[in-house]
Amino acid sequence: MTERSLIADLAAREDGPVTVGGWVETVRDQKKVQFLVLRDETGAVQLVRPRPEGDDEVSLAISGVPLGSFVRVEGALKHDERVKLGGIEVKVDSFDVVAASEPEQPIAADSSIDKRLDHRFLDLRNPVNALVFKVQTTFEHALRTWWVEHGYIEVHTPKLMNSPSESRAELFQVPYFETTAYLAQSPQHFKQMAQAAGFGKIFEIADAFRADPSFTARHATEFTSIDAEISWIDSHEDVMAMHEAVLVAGFQAVADKHGEEIERLLGITVEVPSVPFPRIPLADALRIVAERGYVVPRADGDLDPEGERRISAYVKEEFGHDFVFVTDYATGIRPFYHMRDADDPGITKSYDLVYRGTEISTGAQREHRIEVLLEQVRDKGLDADELQSYLEFFRFGVPPHGGFGMGLARVLMLMLERASIRETTYLFRGPNRLLP
């Protein structure tokens, strides 16, 4: 059997025999000639078959093939600049229906996102939707490459925990033999354990879980979290410098490899951000958006989604930048393990990274002194006994350290201007979705 050629490779081949395989996208069944568009995982090509008088086995197979069927075709490749689809076509000699599709497709181009997700395997045959995951692969690979080249260690932390990773809010409980386990909200404690172990610089790209009943475009109950943690820092500024550098590496790789295809299919240009990213303290951000006509109504003093959009609009106007670090968050709205400012204990050495109006990441310098940690645990009203496995790290000497966690699907959603993380998650999980 002749080896199947990928459609993306056909343009570079000379005219002659070729075997291709893929899904039938369209059929134009005319009296004298039959045209088909065949799509595989790399692209689409036009197939052509002059129709013999009286029809034959091949022409009948083409006439009867349901759209979406997987077929294998042997024929003759020909370069012809008159062919609109890539300037090439394949003249069909044999046409084998490997797996026929049902005649009625359950989704169409204008189907709702929920209906499309019900049939995600069909939805992802759309080259626009498939492009998201090509971009995801390149983006993740670039992040990993940057970290590895800068001496980071990749870790894989457990997702089953015997106690809450941060708090009891938004936790999934799982029966675990004679006890109860919790699905990890983040690898936070294990990232910090690596600093106590002397790893120095680590990263992880893995699942995290939040029992959050939100139905917004940016929330999920299971998501991919991008995390990094580094030792021997002076402040959260060191974390931000690393964060922006690795993001630039990711965006540059996407622009280099997929920029042309993104522009062709999505009509947008991937912009590689310049460094340093703008930095605005939270108090200043709240003041700026208030001066621009919006007072954030949240009682805790944090930015809400509208506030994030407003501060992003300001940064775009003033600095021409899509990213902004909002820094110096109040102690009351940050976890107990965020380091507090020595000169102003009411704020933490922390930040949120906002990209095009949406928060994508939280980072901070962590508190590494056990006596201070215990005080902050008490200040938050938490039970130190429940945190003993975590607090133990700090009884044996931990260097100053910090890091961040970032949502992969949110970054891709904003980069590619998709409407929801449902579009940038391979199989989305939310409060009312456990299938497929």
Region 330-348: mean pLDDT is: 96
> What is the Cα–Cα distance from 308 to 227, expressed in whole angstroms?
22
pLDDT at 136 over 60: yes
Count of residues in the chain: 436
pLDDT band at 1 (very low <50, low <70, confident <90, very high): low
pLDDT band at 34 (very low <50, low <70, confident <90, very high): very high
Residue 138 is labelled as binding a ligand: no
Instruction: Quote the pLDDT of residue 76.
Output: 98
Task: Work out the pLDDT band at 109, boundaries 50, 70, 90.
Answer: confident
pLDDT exceeds 70 at position 82: yes
pLDDT band at 143 (very low <50, low <70, confident <90, very high): very high
- 359 in a known ligand binding site: yes
What pLDDT sits at residue 164? 65
pLDDT at position 206 over 70 = yes
Within 8 A by CB and 6+ apart from 295, the residues are 289
Q: 342-359 pLDDT, tens per residue?
A: 999 999 999 999 999 999
User: What value does the mean pLDDT of the chain take?
Assistant: 96
In the chain, where the domains are located = 7-99, 120-415
pLDDT tens digits for range 261-272:
999 999 999 999
Asked if residue 166 belongs to a known ligand binding site, the reply is: yes
Tell me whether residue 202 is exposed, middle or buried, using C-beta atoms within 10 angstroms of its C-beta: 0 to 12, 13 to 18, 19 or more.
buried
Question: According to the annotation, is 169 in a ligand binding site?
Answer: no
The closest of 218, 225, 222, 224 to 431, measured between CA atoms, is 222
What pLDDT band is residue 167 in, cutting at 50, 70 and 90? low
Q: Are strands 179-183 and 222-231 parallel, antiparallel or unpaired?
A: unpaired
**Fold designation for 120-415:** BirA Bifunctional Protein; domain 2 (3.30.930)
The tokens for 404 are 């961040």
Asked if residue 407 belongs to a known ligand binding site, the reply is yes
Structure tokens at 218: 């940016």
Residues 7-27: tens digit of each pLDDT: 999 999 999 999 999 999 999
Give the H or E element holding residue 323.
strand 323-327
pLDDT of residue 162: 87
What residue has token string 């005080």?
Answer: 375
Tokens of 66: 């349901």
Q: Quick one: pLDDT at residue 386?
A: 85
- pLDDT tens column, 175-203: 999 999 999 999 999 999 999 999 999 99
pLDDT attached to residue 431: 96
Burial of 150 (0-12, 13-18, 19+ CB in 10 A): middle
The kind and range of the H/E element at 379 are: helix 370-379
Closest CA to 366 of 184, 238, 236, 193: 236
Query: So what's the pLDDT on residue 166?
Result: 59
Please indicate if the annotation marks 409 as binding a ligand.
Answer: yes
| Rounded average pLDDT over 28-52 | 97
Short-list 339, 334, 342, CA closest to 380: 334
Ligand-binding annotation for 77, yes or no, is no
Cβ neighbours, 10 Å, residue 84: 7
Give the model's confidence band at 54: pLDDT under 50 very low, under 70 low, under 90 confident, else very high. confident
Is 395 strand, coil or helix?
Answer: helix
Q: What angle do CA 312, 315, 316 make, to 5 degrees?
A: 85
- Kindly give the residue spans of alpha helices, DSSP state H, lying in 164-235: 188-196
H or E element that contains 202: strand 201-209
User: H-helix or E-strand containing 180?
Assistant: strand 179-183
Token pair 């390149």 is found at 138
Query: In angstroms, how far is CA 169 from the centroid of its own chain?
Result: 24
Q: Is 42 annotated as a binding residue?
A: no
What lies within 8 Å, CB to CB, of 213 at 6+ separation is: 431
Q: How far apart are CA 409 and CA 219, in angstroms?
A: 10
Q: Note the CATH architecture for domain 7-99.
A: Beta Barrel (2.40)
Give the span between the Cα atoms of 412 and 409, in whole angstroms. 5
- By the 8 A CB rule, do 277 and 270 touch? no
On whether 210 is known to bind a ligand per the annotation, the reply is yes
Distance CA(111)–CA(424), nearest Å, equals 17
Q: What secondary structure letter does DSSP report for 66?
A: P
